[in-house]
């Protein structure tokens, strides 16, 4: 349904999405998405279900801004599957590994983006909607971190 060069463009879109977050480039991140009128939502599980393009932009500004949880992190993509639906639409599933890189390097989170909807626009392939499933180990890590912070405060 889609050509090999379209699959490559979609895979590059996934990479640009991660690099923009890692580089705290909100404009670059939002350029990975369709226009506000076409936006289909971003369900990021633990981070919220964002229904508008503007809400996503606000989230990303905080996420990569001072004190945001993406600071000092690197997002790695693996197991990318692109399934063509038509010549102008595809679904993308991939795993995500988030690394701490500003301090002692370690894996801090893993998850999977399931069936992200990507569509061909006048500007190339863009995300229309995404759904992130964060793996349970992330929440265990957060509990330990919060417990450690509470113990330091006493």
Comparison of pLDDT for 142 and 12, the residue scoring more: 12
Q: How far apart are CA 115 and CA 26, in angstroms?
A: 23
Q: Is the pLDDT of residue 137 over 90?
A: no
Distance (Å) of CA 49 to CA 10, 35, 98 = 23, 18, 20
Adjacency order of strands within the sheet including 89-100: 49-50, 42-43, 124-134, 106-121, 89-100, 73-86
User: At residue 149, does pLDDT exceed 70?
Assistant: no
Q: Is the pLDDT of residue 126 over 90?
A: yes
Say whether pLDDT at 11 is over 80: yes
Confidence check: pLDDT of 136 > 80:
yes
Summarised one tens digit per residue, pLDDT across range 60-105 is: 999 999 989 899 999 999 999 999 999 999 999 999 999 999 999 9
Give the chain's end-to-end CA distance (angstroms, integer): 60
Residue that has been written with the tokens 């509470």 in this structure: 150
CATH, residue 20: 3.10.450.50
Domain count, the chain: 1
pLDDT in tens, 20-69: 999 999 999 999 999 999 999 999 887 889 999 999 999 999 999 998 98
Q: Which residues pair with 19 in a beta bridge?
A: none
pTM, full prediction: 0.89
Please say whether the beta carbons of 99 and 107 come within 8 A: yes
The whole domain housing 116 covers: 4-153
Residue 118 predicted with pLDDT over 80: yes
């Amino acid at each position: 349904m889609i050509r090999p060069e379209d699959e490559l463009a979609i895979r590059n879109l996934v990479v640009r999405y991660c690099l923009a977050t890692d580089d705290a480039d909100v404009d670059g991140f939002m350029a990975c998405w369709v226009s506000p009128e076409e936006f289909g939502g971003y369900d990021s599980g633990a981070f919220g279900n964002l229904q508008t393009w503007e809400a996503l932009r606000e989230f990303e500004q905080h996420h990569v801004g001072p004190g945001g949880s993406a600071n000092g992190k690197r997002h790695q993509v693996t197991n990318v599957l692109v399934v063509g639906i038509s010549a102008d639409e595809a679904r993308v599933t991939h795993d995500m590994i988030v690394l701490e890189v500003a301090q002692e390097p370690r894996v801090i989170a893993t998850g999977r983006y399931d069936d992200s909807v990507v569509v061909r626009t006048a500007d190339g392939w863009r995300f229309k909607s995404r759904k992130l499933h964060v793996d349970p180990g992330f929440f265990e890590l957060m509990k330990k971190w919060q417990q450690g912070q509470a113990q330091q405060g006493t």
